[in-house]
Structure 1
Amino acid sequence: MALPPIPTQPEVVASVYGTWRLLLGDRGGLSYFGTGPSGFWRSCWVLAAVLPLNLLIYMIQSSASDAPFSLGLLALVGFTVVIAWYGYALAVHYVLPSIDRAERYYDYMIPEFWSSLPTVVIQFAAIALATSDVLPGSLGKVLTIASFGGALWLRAQIIRLSLDVSYGVSVGLVVGSLVFNAVLAAILIPG
């Protein structure tokens, strides 16, 4: 099987703009993403951009907390990010039929994957600023918490708008995704 084509610059820009519109609660943001299986596989390229940033975030957090660090552990974190990425897509495939939304799988997963790009960039910037001496006092922690809260809000909006579900169902699925990632990290990453 050949790799899907790498997204073009206009596709990346449109997808980031669509993500912004979804964050603001505009269902029209969904029209800025690719569709169907080809759109899904093209959105998987986002992992190639966010994986290095996730590894940098881990390295920054490790150095700031004096946690043990090794290249082996860094590789394990990278492996966990990849497993979480595709594992979540697989889990969603099995969860959506239980809420009568199986036909909206691509409508949800494509924006979900694309939204990782601006989300991880913002979280990386927030964590880098928080662990440096650039920001006074606890402003860095506030910035980090705000970026995490914004990411959760975006996920809830994407779920609500792409699956056409209530806020309650949306929040439930966000919590489920957090639990999924926490369990996976607890299993795969020691300590």
Structure 2
Amino acid sequence: MLKAGLFGLALLAGCGTVENMSQTLQLQVKGDALHVDGLINTRALRQFTQALDDNPALREVVLGDVEGSIDDEVVAEMGYQLRERGLNTRMTADSEVFSGGVDLFLAGVERSVAAGAVMGVHEWKSGFGSARDYPRDSSEHDQTRDYTEDMLGSDAFYWFTIEAAPFDDVHVMTRSEMIKYGVVTR
């Protein structure tokens, strides 16, 4: 349990310079599903878009082991593409998805998480501070808060993630939390 999460946090804390120079996201099409594993970095957007364009029959994106992201803008762009194409998202019993991977998961029209899956959240951090350092009305919250509201109809989940764990830790969500914040639809 949590095999990728703490490793991912270490990568994220290192600013991702090396990770952004290589392909760290693995994509595999199986039937009508796109399986996603790895770290979401700047190169991931091109990979993801190409996979979607090359496979118009896709119905869902299955997140396996996604340790997070080092580029929140890329996650948002991927998420908006996923939603615009009407795709669902799913986590299997073996899935472990953290941080920016959870944000990508939110983009599914229908979202399901199998029993046994691990979904981990924490506050974000930039070179200028962490989310908790900024007042709620700060523009520093706008991008991710707006994205969360676009995907879930409310920003309550955004505020939950900030309060659930500091950046250098992770909070594993319970099923009741997933339901309460609208993370799952089925």
- Relative to total residues, which structure has the larger strand share, 1 or 2? 2
- Relative to total residues, which structure has the larger helix share, 1 or 2? 1
Larger Rg: 1
TM-score by length of 2: 0.28
TM-score by length of 1: 0.28
